Amino acid sequence: MTINRRQVLQASLGAAAALPLSLETGWADDGFLTVTARPTKKKLYLEEAPASNIWTYNNTSPGPEIRVKRGDRVRVRLVNELDEPTSIHWHGIRIANAMDGVSGLTQEPVPPGASFDYDFVAPDAGTYWYHAHTKSWSQVARGLYGPLIIEETEQVFDRDHDLTLVMDDWRLDRDGVFDAASLGSLRDWSHAGRLGNWLTVNGESLPKYALNAGEAYRLRLINAANARILEIDPRRFDAKVIGYDGQSLDKPQEPEADRLLIGPAQRVDLMVVPKPGKGFSMEEISSDQSFAFIAFEVRRSSAAAPVAPSLSVNALREPDIADARVLKLDMTGGAMGNFGNITHKGRKLATADIRATGQVWAFNGTANLAEDPMFTARRGETIVIETKNDTAFPHAIHLHGHHFRVFMQRDDGVATLGPWRDTFLIGPDQSRKIAFVADNPGKWLLHCHMLEHAAAGMNTWFQVT
């Protein structure tokens, strides 16, 4: 689909101030919130485009914002009104293994017409999200995701100054309608993943938000795209980074580079204090031509400007690097990559097997979940994983049930541990090293969050005993 820049400009200039995501308040007397997965029609492109057939939670995509306090008990009843099984993964939450929502590993998928109760305690304040974890490459692409916000026990930003922005790139056809026919394309699976051609924020095209001058706001950015790495420059609107992947920093920081990369499933919290009379846009800058996909108008504030809030940092166990067990993760396969020596279900694949199996990527030579775990860790053991990307494409690697620190190389050559993450980006021919404490018992997934890559082989698991 060709985007008409004049239409985009007119739509942006004429847009009214957008409303925040709907906050789900329908908790039942038994303490459960019902979240129903079902097909829905929704307009994704500009006004003149037809509505698309997508999948939603409670008739919206993103699904309703679930907002609780740190330490609260979260009870969600998933009702499946789709014509295929599904499940929900609570991304980034360090919860009990049985609630992680991974079909085939932590639970059986929920059949059509059935339900499943998720019941867990929210241990850490931060920006998280929930999404389908059965055929994720299809179900997330169709719209099955939503934000889960865990607020600090003490109020840091009030609701009017705390905005959730769920970003997704949809693949639309020439009529501006969701392109379901291209789902499962082997080209997508073997290349960069499913990349869209139209960006929405909270399910809306080119929304505009109204902010008050001189007041501090938290912008919670969530990348819900199947494979798109979003690039923005927070310095263009004087924003500071205050959190990554649900973990707040101890103080606001300048972005580390002029391009802040937000990979699939990653989250970044920004703090911005708008200047009087100076509206701004957030631009996607990965291509030669930047694209303003969200606008902020700035109103004059009638109240005294509040002091910038102090941040609340979660208590996570620091890795013991001196006593760590070091493991290797070699990533191979994909188009223009090293496809040889890939084993799937105990059998070495030949080139002729690609179309039949769809398996084109491998972790340590194995495509998709092996019968045995990649490793078994003692509870409390520090694990270091050294990852080498021997492929022609970037990947976003997500660790379930835990957060980790990425080793960072300073200019003087000294390695330090970076901020807490649950998903890290690694480019072609790059190496990354992460460290975490395996302190959450159970069977946990480790996979690429370019969802087509995961379906096509970039999936493994580990066990904490």
* Predicted pLDDT of residue 324: 96
143-167 tens-digit pLDDT: 999 999 999 999 889 999 999 999 9
- Cβ atoms of residues 243 and 149 within 8 Å: no
Residue 22 pLDDT greater than 70, yes or no: no
Spatial contact of 162 and 221, defined as CB atoms under 8 Å apart = no
- What does the block give as tokens for 455? 């379906």
Residue 2 has pLDDT above 90, yes or no: no
Instruction: Give the start-to-end residue ranges of the domains of the chain.
Output: 5-154, 180-299, 321-464
Residue 310, pLDDT score: 81
Lowest average pLDDT, out of 54-68, 74-88, 279-293, 410-424, goes to: 410-424
For residue 385, is pLDDT > 50?
Answer: yes
14 — phi, psi (to 5°)?
Answer: -95, 0
Lowest mean pLDDT among 23-27, 224-228, 291-295, 358-362: 23-27
Is the per-residue pLDDT at 307 higher than 90?
Answer: no
Model pLDDT, residue 309: 76
- Dig out the tokens for 21 from the structure: 């995501």
Chain centroid to CA 113: 28
Query: Among the listed ranges 19-28, 30-39, 82-91, 272-281, which one has the minimum average pLDDT value?
Result: 19-28
Region 291-302: mean pLDDT is 90
- Of the pLDDT bands very low, low, confident and very high (cuts 50, 70, 90), residue 302 is low
Check whether 114 has a pLDDT greater than 90: yes
Output the pLDDT for position 5. 39
pLDDT at 25: 56
Residues facing 444 on adjacent strands: 462
pLDDT at residue 341 greater than cutoff 90: no
Q: Residue 11's pLDDT band (boundaries 50, 70, 90)?
A: very low
Is the N-terminal amide bond of 62 cis, ω within 30° of 0? Answer: yes
With a CB cutoff of 8 Å and minimum separation 6, the contacts of 35 are 24, 57, 58, 63, 64, 76, 77, 78, 79, 88, 146
When comparing pLDDT for 315 and 15, which is higher? 315
Q: How far apart are CA 109 and CA 117, in angstroms?
A: 12
Query: Cβ(101)–Cβ(78) under 8 Å?
Result: no
Look over the chain and give the mean of its residue pLDDT values, rounded to a whole number. Answer: 91
pLDDT the model gives residue 271: 96
Residue 410 has what pLDDT? 66
**What would the pLDDT profile of 178-236 be if each residue is shown by its tens digit?**
999 999 999 999 999 999 999 999 999 999 999 999 999 999 999 999 999 999 999 99
Q: Which long-range contacts (CB under 8 A, 24 or more apart) does 106-114 make?
A: 106/442, 106/443, 109/85, 109/134, 110/78, 110/80, 110/85, 110/86, 111/80, 111/85, 112/80, 112/81, 112/82, 112/83, 112/84, 112/85, 113/80, 113/81, 114/80
Residue 171 has pLDDT above 90, yes or no: yes
pLDDT score of 8 more than 50: no
Between 380 and 259, the higher pLDDT residue:
380
In the predicted model, what is the mean pLDDT of residues 358-362? 94
Percent of the chain with pLDDT over 70: 91
Q: Hey, which CATH number is domain 180-299, 2.60.40.420, 3.20.20.140, 1.10.10.10, 3.40.640.10?
A: 2.60.40.420
Same fold, 5-154 and 321-464: yes
Whole-angstrom Cα distance, residue 13 to residue 358?
Answer: 44
Cβ atoms of 388 and 331 within 8 Å: the answer is yes
Please say if the pLDDT value at position 407 is more than 80: yes
Pairing verdict, β 291-299 and 208-212: parallel
Query: Residue 346 above 70 pLDDT?
Result: yes
Would you state the pLDDT for residue 322?
A: 93
Return d(Cα 145, Cα 163) in angstroms, integer: 17
187 — phi, psi (to 5°)?
Answer: -65, -45
CA distance 227 to 334: 14
Q: 248 pairs with which residues across the strands?
A: 243
**Which is higher by pLDDT, 47 or 422?**
422
The pLDDT score that the predictor gives to residue 230 is: 97
Supply the pLDDT for residue 31: 86
Would you say residue 3 has pLDDT above 60? Answer: no
Q: Which two tokens stand for residue 344?
A: 């799937």
Q: Give the closest residue to 274 by CA, choosing from 208, 209, 210, 213.
A: 213
pTM, to two decimals: 0.94
Domain 5-154 has CATH 2.60.120.620: no
Q: Is a pLDDT exceeding 90 seen at residue 24?
A: no
**Lowest mean pLDDT, pick from 136-140, 313-317, 409-413:** 409-413
Q: Are 60 and 15 in contact (CB under 8 A)?
A: no
Q: What is the pLDDT of residue 88?
A: 98
Q: Could you give the CA distance from residue 165 to residue 234 in angstroms, rounded to a whole number? A: 14
Q: In the chain, pLDDT over 90 holds for what percent of residues?
A: 79
Q: What is the pLDDT of residue 125?
A: 97
The CATH number, out of the four listed (1.10.10.350, 3.40.50.720, 3.40.50.970, 2.60.40.420), of the domain defined by the range 321-464: 2.60.40.420
- Among 89-93, 235-239, 286-290, 398-402, the minimum mean pLDDT is found in 286-290
> What is the reported pLDDT for 1?
38
